[in-house]
Copies of this chain bind each other. A is one copy, B any other.
Amino acid sequence: MTNPARLSPSRARALFREGLRAPTSGYSAGYAQANLIAVPREAAFDFLLFAQRNPKPCPVLDVTEPGETSASVFAGDLRTDLRTDLPAYRVYRHGELVEERSEVADLWREDLVAFLLGCSFTFEASLLEAGIPVRHLETGTNAAMYVTDRRCRPAGRFRGPLVVSMRPVPADRVADAVRVTSRYPAVHGAPVHVGDPAALGITDLDAPDYGDRVEVRPGEIPVFWACGVTPQAAVAASAPEFAIGHAPGHMAITDIRDSAYQVP
């Protein structure tokens, strides 16, 4: 296959639509990736408020009208369909994960409002450019993600723990990793925590709650960024009647350039 980094967003989405299943870290370099969470209209205000109150894990990039199956971040590609164009989905009923599948066309409902939230995969190209290695890109695996003991600010029916992604960073590059990622607040921005997993309630770095184990080598510090799987932990904790999310690490690839989310 072509180098996934070189795939255009629409080509990558077409591959996923045709059934390819893979974590999207490293795909379509230079284009922002997004987390998906879709909830019924009657829960949408509570969720949007939850996102507004927890902007580090839940930076909102786009919100659809009820029933809509595309979004403005896919501008220019009319074939894009949120129900088929991510590599994998998770389906929740009353907070319970009932199914993981490669498309959700037959489960989509007229009353679903889909939220697309920034993903830290977006700033990985900038980390690489700064000479900061990204281990899960080197190994071709998924990122490591953990449920922490930090609570999000609740909103209406939604509450739940903060979920983080972890990247091992050489100790002398931690400051650079902070500096580089802080310029991308819309895709989780600066780390929420550096260096002490126990202080986040993470007892075993080798056993992530989502994604794959990522080795932390001697001289490296585990650095934790807020993660867009947080809404799915909130769905699990709050049990709305129905919800659809992406499978962790299997993101929506947008047509928005990384640089559009860079400040200042």
Task: Give A contacts to B, CB under 8 Å.
Answer: 44-45, 48-49, 52-53, 60, 63, 155, 179, 182-183, 185, 189-190, 263-264
Contacts and interface: CB of A to CB of B under 8 A. Distances in A.
Nearest to A178: B264
A189 B60 CA distance: 18
A190 B182 CA distance: 17
A183 B53 CA distance: 21
A36 to B, nearest CB: 16
Contacts of A264: 179, 182-183, 185, 189-190, 263-264
A53 B189 CA distance: 20
A53 B48 CA distance: 12
A35 B229 CA distance: 32
Nearest to A47: B45
Contact of A48 (B48, B182, B183): B48
A258 B189 CA distance: 19
Nearest to A184: B264
Given A45-B44, A45-B45, A45-B48, A263 B182 contact: yes
A263 B48 contact: no
Nearest to A181: B264
A53 B263 CA distance: 18
17 contacts: A44-B45, A45-B45, A48-B48, A48-B52, A49-B63, A52-B63, A179-B264, A182-B264, A183-B263, A183-B264, A185-B185, A185-B263, A185-B264, A189-B264, A263-B263, A263-B264, A264-B264
A68 to B, nearest CB: 12
A63 B55 CA distance: 13
Contacts of A49: 48, 63
